[in-house]
Amino acid sequence: MKLVIENLTKKYKNKVALDNVSLSMENGIYALLGPNGAGKTTLIYSIIGLITYQQGSIKYYDDQNMEMESLYEILGYLPQYPSFYKNFSVYEMLLYIATLKGLKKNIIKERISEVLHEVNLWDDKNMKIKALSGGMKQRLGIAQAIINHPRILIVDEPTAGLDPKERIRFRDVIKNISLNTIVIFATHIVSDVELIATNIILLKSGKVILDEKRETVFQYI
Ligand code: ADP
Ligand code: ADP
């Protein structure tokens, strides 16, 4: 999987939110950093296809280097504040989402079981969502986002409300997924970057001011 962004420029009226951004990503975890107003949300929304832009291009290529057209099948998104039906159990929530996303009936149960194991919620599948901890909810959010096998997973500040133990669990889950997925991970938590990022992208005033492998950055620290 490859995501290639070239010369992306996005303006809101006269305000330049992204200024000639070019980035290339392959499987791994890309920490997306930058102060408030840097353009992170705008970049994420552009990749997801929620907003249009004035200039540039965003293209997706499969493992055979063929350009992919439909975003629906390749994208998974965990927003900063995901919403759930609080009276559903973990299992019911995934069943609902899988059905909405059009997964075939004969594979749904197997896929839900697979995903629940992947995010480490199998033993909690009958718990009501209102009884889950913050970390469990974030892992359920990931389960929802990956149920249809996306190849690009975007997570927005997912560890902010988590305690250290939950954060470690969440990172393990993401690390595993990133072996064959591009994960874009917006965060303000330094240990997220230090422990799991493969690459670091720093935005400021709509410009990419750093785009490096993690080792390259951390060798000086
Ligand atoms: P984040 O918490 O990721 O930094 P923001 O708080 O900057 O995000 O933005 C949250 C939402 O508000 C986004 O959808 C963004 O497009 C919108 N937004 C941010 N700044 C403005 C603005 N000046 N005018 C209108 N909408 C804005
Ligand atoms: P971040 O997520 O890094 O905080 P944003 O992408 O939300 O940054 O915002 C980038 C810039 O664009 C900021 O200056 C913000 O105020 C502005 N902006 C974002 N959304 C809107 C919008 N809908 N209308 C006008 N300005 C916006």
Q: What ipTM was estimated for this complex?
A: 0.72
The answer to whether the CB of 36 is under 6 A from ligand 1 is yes
Under a CB-based contact definition with an 8 Å cutoff, are residues 155 and 124 in contact? no
Ligand nearest to the CA of 34: 2
Q: What is the pLDDT of residue 113?
A: 97
Q: Where are any strands of DSSP class E within 85-180?
A: 152-156
The answer to whether the CB of 147 is under 6 A from ligand 2 is no
Residue nearest to atom 26 of ligand 2 (CA): 12
Ligand 2 pocket test: which of 14, 41, 46, 54 has the largest number of ligand atoms within 8 Å of its C-beta? 41
Q: What is the pLDDT of residue 135?
A: 93
Strand partners, 212: 200
Q: Which residues contact 203 (CB under 8 A, 6 or more apart)?
A: 21, 32, 33, 34, 38, 39, 40, 43, 209
Q: Where are any strands of DSSP class E within the chain?
A: 2-12, 15-26, 28-33, 55-61, 75-78, 152-156, 182-186, 199-204, 207-213
The answer to whether the CB of 28 is under 6 A from ligand 2 is no
CA of 41 from ligand 1 middle (Å) equals 7
Residue nearest to atom 10 of ligand 1 (CA): 41
Residue nearest to atom 14 of ligand 1 (CA): 41
Per-residue tens of pLDDT for the chain, all 221 residues: 899 999 999 999 999 999 999 999 999 999 999 999 999 999 999 999 999 999 999 999 988 999 998 887 889 999 988 989 999 999 999 999 999 999 999 999 999 999 999 999 999 999 999 999 999 999 999 999 999 989 999 999 999 888 899 999 999 999 999 999 999 999 988 889 999 999 999 999 999 999 999 999 988 87
Neighbours of 17 (CB within 10 A): 23
Q: What is the pLDDT of residue 89?
A: 98
Under a CB-based contact definition with an 8 Å cutoff, are residues 179 and 149 in contact? no
Distance of CA 194 to the CA centre of its chain: 18
Under a CB-based contact definition with an 8 Å cutoff, are residues 205 and 42 in contact? no
The answer to whether the CB of 139 is under 6 A from ligand 2 is no
The answer to whether the CB of 40 is under 6 A from ligand 1 is yes
The answer to whether the CB of 10 is under 6 A from ligand 1 is no
Q: What is the pLDDT of residue 183?
A: 97
CA of 17 from ligand 1 middle (Å) equals 10
